[in-house]
């Protein structure tokens, strides 16, 4: 095992990636898988491991995992636009339902989006 694999930054990055949520919309392309491959490639290469830069990247991952920016910068007015206050709630519900739909339900949604009755 190389020095990069035993470093504190490497351990923090591994821990942050293990906590990162899976993306249900793209199950075959996950952020944590891509970053883990990059990390393993760096560890296998040996010398090219900047401890300080990797610690900063681990800290950035932790801030995103803990929603620090969402909690620090409240955007409640932006989440309820006057034109359609339920827009973002509907969007979140749609994103949660999308991976669970059958192909027939997806086809129905697509056709429903093409045909609008007014």
64 shares a domain with 9: yes
pTM of the model: 0.66
Please tell me whether residues 50 and 103 are part of one structural domain: no
**DSSP state for residue 29 in the 8-state scheme:** S
**Helix ranges, the chain (H):** 3-6, 8-19, 31-45, 51-65, 68-72, 87-97, 103-114
pLDDT of 1 > 60? The answer is no
Range of the domain at 108: 79-118
Identify whether residues 117 and 91 lie together within a single domain. yes
At residue 33 the predicted structure's pLDDT band, cuts being 50, 70 and 90, is very high
Total domain count, the chain:
2
89 shares a domain with 66: no
88 and 115 together in one domain: yes
Tell whether 40 and 90 lie within a shared domain: no
Please, which residues have CB within 8 angstroms of residue 87's CB and are 6 or more apart in sequence?
Answer: 81
Q: Is the pLDDT of residue 82 over 70?
A: yes
Q: Residue 47 has what pLDDT?
A: 59
pLDDT digits 0-9 by tens, 35-67: 889 888 887 877 567 789 889 999 999 999 998
Q: Are residues 40 and 15 in the same domain?
A: yes
User: 12 and 62 share a domain?
Assistant: yes
């Amino acid at each position: 095992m190389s020095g990069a694999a035993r470093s504190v930054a490497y351990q923090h990055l591994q821990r942050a990636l293990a906590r990162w949520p899976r993306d249900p919309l793209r199950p075959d392309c996950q952020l944590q898988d891509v970053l883990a491959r990059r990390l393993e490639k760096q560890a296998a290469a040996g010398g090219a491991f900047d401890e300080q830069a990797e610690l900063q990247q681990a800290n950035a991952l932790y801030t995103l995992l803990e929603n620090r920016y969402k909690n620090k910068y409240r955007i409640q007015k932006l989440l309820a636009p006057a034109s359609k206050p339920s827009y973002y709630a509907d969007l979140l519900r749609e994103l949660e339902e999308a991976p669970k739909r059958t192909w027939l339900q997806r086809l129905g949604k697509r056709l429903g989006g093409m045909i609008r009755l007014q």
